[in-house]
Amino acid sequence: MFESALTDRIEYSDPWHLTFEQRFSMLNTAPTRVAYFYERPDNSTFRYRIFNMVEALNAEGEVSASWFHYGDIKRMHAVIDHVDALVFCRTRYAPCIAQLVSHAKNRGVRVLYDVDDLVFNADYVHLVLDTLDRDVDQEPVLDDFFAYCSRNGALLRACDGAITTNTFLAQQIRAFAPHVTVGVIPNFLNREQQAVSERLFRRKEVTGFKSSAPYHIGYFSGSPTHNRDFAVVSQTLAQLLRQDDDLRLVIVGFLQPGPSLEQYADRIDRYPLQDYLNLQQLIAQTEINIAPLIDNTFTNCKSELKFFEAAIAGTISIATPIFTFRNSIVDGKTGFLAKSHEWEAKLSRALMLLRDRDEYAKMAVAGFDYAKQNYGWDQYGKTIVNTIFGKQISPHSDQMSSPEAALAQL
């Protein structure tokens, strides 16, 4: 464990619980205005795809932005009268939402749909449910997810354009809705999340990334739907625990580790879901972060946030080489990429770095620099403006297409 990253629990409250009046007033700081709409604010998609975007836009100064939700639905027509663009994020079609779209288009307001997952095309429902380890023989499960994806897709197709997190998912959107223009804005950090992480990183850096046994491998899940993903590496983890008494696991979230790890339950540290600041503290204390995934069309649409959340805190990652991870991690330089048959070898290499602090530090610093440069909270303001208003420029994300080239510039 990195004891230098141990601090008291960070005082936290959700920063998005503001009154309508407070949020509406945020639109008045610049003449060009953007309203985001999400069904109900939360600590996952809403945070990355709306709260962080609004923060970046308002800091840029060219545009003012704010967020709204179903609690504001009776006042949304007035909001639309006040803005130049309206962005729905993972919002399901409903008659009241269709009325907002119609009102916005009649006023010449640009209407966009932001989506960060393959949850708009019902053709993929079986694949998604299988990957999420849901029972596809249960009628309510099928009904719920077919309805969810279909309603998302219906609203997406009604919009002028779409925004998503990576070019792989953008291709899926273009195939589903060829008439819709698609822009790419990756997930990135917010200001406070980055500030907390940088402080933790600097404390580790000052000590030369010194840690002491027991060493920790961390799996930081955000939902109870990653059992099949974790199964990719569970037997390898059991073997490593059997071989090394100085090794422990850290698991955050609802994950069930599986039968191969049952006998090591006393060497697994379990934590409930965390807010995004205290999560960074847990990640910073952990030597190795893992992001195993089944490799299929659904998972290749995922973002790389599990990499950059760890990298900005000075913790190295091992990840399945899905599209975003292989386009952000330089294997052996800023982290490790592990195909399903490579986890034992890559975990062993990462554990060897704990005996060679200079090499661990070199990789941790390279990952930190890359994360700050490419996922910093202040890196995307202009890109968001250009994407929302349809300016034909290369998105900032294209600059990350070659992680090796970016690493060489650091």
Give yes or no: residues 215 and 278 share one domain.
yes
User: 159: number of CA atoms within 13 Å, CB side?
Assistant: 32
pLDDT score at 395? 33
Query: 109-118, 220-229, 235-244, 297-306 — which is least confidently predicted?
Result: 220-229
Task: Give the pLDDT band of residue 301 (cuts 50, 70, 90).
Answer: very high
Q: How far apart are CA 24 and CA 181, in angstroms?
A: 28
Q: Is the pLDDT of residue 140 over 50?
A: yes
Q: What is the pTM of this model?
A: 0.93
Q: How far apart are CA 236 and CA 240, in angstroms?
A: 6
Q: Is the pLDDT of residue 400 over 60?
A: no
Which amino acid, residue 44?
Answer: S
CATH number of the CATH domain containing 152:
3.40.50
The parent domain of residue 237 ranges over 191-375
CATH number of the CATH domain containing 263:
3.40.50.2000
Tell me the pLDDT of the chain averaged across its residues. Answer: 93
pLDDT score at 398? 41
pLDDT score at 126? 95
- Return the C-alpha torsion angle 272, 50, 330, 250, nearest 10: 0
- Provide the edge-to-edge strand list for the sheet that holds 336-337: 268-271, 247-252, 215-220, 288-291, 316-319, 336-337
Task: Give the pLDDT band of residue 399 (cuts 50, 70, 90).
Answer: very low
Query: Does 6 fall in a domain?
Result: no
Give yes or no: residues 348 and 223 share one domain.
yes
Contacts 24+ apart (CB under 8 A), 103-107: 103/77, 104/80, 105/160, 107/80, 107/81
Q: How far apart are CA 188 and CA 312, in angstroms?
A: 11
Query: Does 7 fall in a domain?
Result: no
Give yes or no: residues 139 and 167 share one domain.
yes
Q: Is the pLDDT of residue 69 over 90?
A: yes
Percentage of the chain with pLDDT > 70? 94
Query: Does 384 fall in a domain?
Result: no
Give yes or no: residues 178 and 199 share one domain.
no
Task: Return the axis-axis angle of helices 191-206 and 357-375, rounded to nearest 10°.
Answer: 160
Which of residues 151, 184, 217 is at a domain's end?
A: 184
Query: Does 102 fall in a domain?
Result: yes
pLDDT score at 355? 87
Q: Is the pLDDT of residue 409 over 60?
A: no
Query: Does 381 fall in a domain?
Result: no
Query: Does 248 fall in a domain?
Result: yes
**351: closest CA among 246, 265, 219?**
246
Q: Is the pLDDT of residue 321 over 70?
A: yes
pLDDT score at 394? 32
The predicted model gives 115-120 an average pLDDT of: 98
- Name the strand (E) or helix (H) holding 249: strand 247-252
Query: 5-14, 139-148, 249-258, 390-399 — which is least confidently predicted?
Result: 390-399
Tokens read off for 370: 């890359």
Q: How far apart are CA 357 and CA 239, in angstroms?
A: 24
Give yes or no: residues 143 and 237 share one domain.
no
The pLDDT tens digits of the residues spanning 329-365 come to: 999 999 999 999 999 999 999 999 998 899 999 999 9
Q: Is the pLDDT of residue 401 over 50?
A: no
Task: Give the pLDDT band of residue 254 (cuts 50, 70, 90).
Answer: confident
pLDDT score at 396? 35
Which of residues 169, 184, 199 is at a domain's end?
A: 184
List C-alpha distances in Å: 52 to 246, 365, 382.
Answer: 38, 24, 14
Give yes or no: residues 173 and 74 share one domain.
yes
Task: Give the pLDDT band of residue 255 (cuts 50, 70, 90).
Answer: confident
pLDDT score at 154? 98
Give yes or no: residues 201 and 157 share one domain.
no
Give yes or no: residues 357 and 280 share one domain.
yes
Give yes or no: residues 33 and 170 share one domain.
yes
Tokens read off for 300: 């290749």
Sequence-separated (6 or more) residues with CB below 8 Å from residue 327? 166, 304, 400, 401, 403
Give yes or no: residues 260 and 356 share one domain.
yes
Query: Does 288 fall in a domain?
Result: yes
The pLDDT tens digits of the residues spanning 19-50 come to: 999 999 999 999 999 999 999 999 999 999 99
pLDDT score at 4? 86
Q: Is the pLDDT of residue 397 over 50?
A: no
- Name the strand (E) or helix (H) holding 139: helix 139-158
Which of residues 184, 205, 224 is at a domain's end?
A: 184
Which amino acid, residue 389?
Answer: F
pLDDT score at 5? 86
Task: Give the pLDDT band of residue 391 (cuts 50, 70, 90).
Answer: low
The pLDDT tens digits of the residues spanning 169-200 come to: 999 999 999 999 999 999 999 999 999 999 99
pLDDT score at 221? 84
* Terminal Cα distance for the chain, rounded: 28
Number of domains in the chain: 2
Give yes or no: residues 197 and 168 share one domain.
no
Give yes or no: residues 118 and 261 share one domain.
no
Query: Does 334 fall in a domain?
Result: yes
Distance of CA 353 to the CA centre of its chain: 27
